[in-house]
Amino acid sequence: MEICNKTHYDLKRLFAEAVDGFDHSGLTVEVKYCPSCSGRFVSGTYYREAPGRPDGKLIRLRINKDNGYPLRVAFKTSDYITRIDKKGREVIYQKLRYETFHTAERLALAIFLHEFSHYLDHLEGRNGRYKQTKADKFAVERMRAMKIVK
C-alpha cells in the first residue's frame, strides 16, 4: 500500500496497522485537504476505475483542516425501527451509531476503513446491496479491534 499524504497528519502507521492481515498490495491512498469552500468535514472515495488506473485500487480522502474536535460522526447499522408518520403510513428508519473523534488522524482512519471495505468488495467481485451500511460496520469493527472506539 502506497500512501500519498499531502496533509500534516501522521497517518501511514495508523492506516497500515488498521489493514494488517488484509490484501492491500497495489493499493494507493491519496490524502489531502478539502477545498476551503466545500463545507464538508471529511470525504472519501474508492475508485473501481480511474484515469491511468484501470485496475482501480485507489482511495482518495479529503479532510477539512478547519475541523473543530471533538467531532461526532454517524455510522449506519443493520438495525431498523418502524414508526407511523402523521399521515398513518409506516416508515422504516435505519438506526445510526454515533462515534466521537478527538483527532483528525482518527477521523481520517474511520473514513479510510469505510472506503477500504469497498476496496475489499471490489477484490472479491461483490457489488451487492447495503454497501454503505456494510462499509460503516466494517470501519467500526476495525476501530473497535484497535481500541479506538468502544
Q: What percent of the chain has pLDDT over 90?
A: 71
Measure the CA angle with vertex 75, ends 73 and 77; round to 5°. Answer: 155
pLDDT of res. 13: 95
pLDDT of res. 129: 64
Which range, 56-60, 127-131, 139-143, is most confident?
139-143
- Give SS3 for 4: strand
- Select the more confidently predicted residue: 84 or 35: 84
- Give SS3 for 106: helix
Helices (H), 52-103: none
Total-model pTM: 0.90
Domain locations along the chain: 2-145
What's the CA gap between 124 and 61, in Å, rounded?
A: 22
Q: Average pLDDT for residues 18-35, to the nearest whole number?
A: 93
What's the CA gap between 116 and 113, in Å, rounded?
A: 5
Is there a contact between 61 and 43 (Cβ–Cβ < 8 Å)?
Answer: yes
pLDDT tens by residue, 29-64: 999 999 877 888 999 999 888 888 778 789 999 999
pLDDT tens by residue, 111-125: 999 999 999 998 888
pLDDT of res. 128: 62
Question: What is the H or E stretch that residue 58 is in?
Answer: strand 58-63
pLDDT of res. 39: 82
Q: Average pLDDT for residues 85-98, to the nearest whole number?
A: 92
Is there a contact between 33 and 65 (Cβ–Cβ < 8 Å)?
Answer: yes
What's the CA gap between 55 and 45, in Å, rounded?
A: 15
Q: How far is CA 103 from CA 36, 50, 67, 91, 116, in A?
A: 19, 30, 9, 36, 20
